[in-house]
Amino acid sequence: MKDIAEQEVIDLDDMDVEAFNDFATEQGWSDGMPLYVPTEAKVAKFVDTVRGDNRPYPPVPPRQIVPTLQALAANAVMAGCKPEYFPVVTAALRGVLDHDYNLHGTLATTHSCAPMVMVSGPIRHELRINCGSNCFGQGWQANATIGRALGLMLLNVAGAKPGEMDRSTQGNPAKFTFCFGENEEENPWTPYHVQRGFAPTDSVVTVMSGEGPHNLNDHGSTSGDGLLTTFAGGMATPGANTIYGKGPMFVIIGPEHAATLKRDGFTIESIRQELYARSRVHVSRISAENQDTYISTGHKPDGDWFTIARAPEDIHITVAGGPGKHSAFIPSFGGTTVACTRIAR
Amino acid sequence: MRIINPTFGLAAAGGAKVALKPVNWATDAIALVSNSKPNARELLSGIRDKLGAFRGIDNIEFLSKNSASQPAPKDLLQEVAAKYRGALLAIAD
């Protein structure tokens, strides 16, 4: 008999869900939350949804195995996905497998990063992905389980076991799940996937290895300029990886803030320029020892200021959320990229 | 009941094992490779000093990745393979 790790199909005695969860936990398959049972029949339904994507998968680092669709689907089943969510999950996986995403580094790091999954295009409505109020939060099956399925794949296929290959010092609740939709309907500019060259009718998954959202509260500013002062102040954090790791970041603007910025004539490009110029950290806010570390790794201050990004293009802008005067800053791991994948249908 | 193993995968092609030749730590060229985090270089310097107590250290050299967050670039790996018989990696901090 083969060892369980070498078998694609495993014969088990009939057991209830609780017993299966005990078994799965013993195997190291669980993120700590209850799992659905990945029966052959359920997995087959998921696999049937991705017939439009026949490209083989590359080896998945750090474990460097080539996953089968059945194994990937088993993770989506365990996460509680509906079958129709599976093409979104596989597109997200293809995104994190982009070479420049640096999957090995983002999984093995002591940083707290988790894969941020953002969905754009018509599929948001077909799958009821929350793009509005509480879009980063609980209450929506698609958001909760798509992000979770990717996390389980990284655990079970990539091998990112916490405390072993995943060496994160403190982790991050977003490692359980971090998936939301763009609020394209209240975006006064161009939807993110269209900014990246996709058609508005395409459905696209965007991934970035990021921290959880940092809130940018501004109830007082009535001008776009005032809002950008608040955003830049919130972004200028000495503890962010991007201050010396350098890499992309997202500013997810709430619809009310977006309307104010649009009214005052700001474009995505001008917002990027302004935030790049203003979100700098004065050397007085960084210890001398830490400045030495930044400089020794090639990141010198611009005068008395450390920039939070390499260039305005590192600051990615879109709109999500519902009513209220809040936006969010999501810094990345640093040595990573923002990868977009069209969902095969 | 029959379930699908969520960890299952196939071995990647081209993963042939390389036969390692023995290293003579008393004389061979050795690469001391830093992961570019703080104190990695200091750790390696300590090792080089210790080695200097019983062998020559002219052929023990320091190398480093470009960034702590990025994999070692191919040219660095090729340099290590071509010039050295042994390599020690410091994972700091």
Contact A297 B68 (CB under 8 A): yes
Residue A231 to residue A260: CA distance in whole angstroms: 13
How far is the C-alpha of B86 from the C-alpha of B64, rounded, in Å? Answer: 15
Strand (E) positions, A112-236? 114-120, 179-181, 204-210, 214-217
For chain B, the 3-state helix, strand and coil shares in percent, each to the nearest 5, are 25, 25, 55
User: Model pTM?
Assistant: 0.93
Q: How far is A63 from B18, CA to CA, in rounded Å?
A: 18
Distance of alpha carbon A30 from alpha carbon B41, whole angstroms: 38
Give residue A245's pLDDT: 77
Nearest Cα of chain B lies from the Cα of A25 at a distance, in angstroms, of: 12
What tens digit of pLDDT does each residue of A197-231 get? 999 999 999 999 999 999 999 999 999 999 999 99
- Pairwise CA distance, residues A230 & A189, whole Å: 21
pLDDT computed for residue A2 by the predictor: 58
The set of residues, in sequence order, having a beta carbon less than 8 Å from that of A340 and lying 6+ positions away, is A95, A193, A196, A198, A204, A205, A206
Where in the sequence is the domain holding A18, given as residue range(s)?
4-342
- The number of helix segments (H) and strand segments (E) in chain B equals 2, 5
Q: What is the mean pLDDT of residues A173-199?
A: 98
Chain B residues whose CB is inside 8 A of the A334 CB are 69
Residue-level pLDDT at A297: 78
Span A146-172, average pLDDT: 97
- So what's the pLDDT on residue A1? 46
Tens of pLDDT, residue by residue over B53-73, are 999 999 999 999 888 888 888
B57 CA to chain A: closest CA distance, Å?
A: 25
Residues A134, A322 contacting (CB under 8 angstroms): yes
Q: Nearest 5°: CA angle at A227, between A321 and A316?
A: 60
In whole angstroms, what is the distance from residue B6 CA to residue A342 CA? 24
The predicted-structure confidence for A141-152, as pLDDT tens digits, reads as follows 999 999 999 999
Given an 8 Å threshold on Cβ–Cβ distance, is A245 in contact with B4? no
| Number of compact structural domains in chain A | 1
Backbone angles phi, psi at A12, to 5 degrees: -120, 150
A8 Cβ under 8 Å from any chain B Cβ: yes
B16 touches chain A (CB under 8 A): no
Residue A15 has pLDDT above 50, yes or no: yes
Mean pLDDT of A244-263: 95
Backbone phi, psi, residue A302, to 5°: -95, 95
Residues of chain A by 3-state class (helix, strand, coil), percent to 5: 40, 15, 45
pLDDT tens column, A84-143: 999 999 999 999 999 999 999 999 999 999 999 999 999 999 999 999 999 999 999 999
CA distance A169 to A152: 19
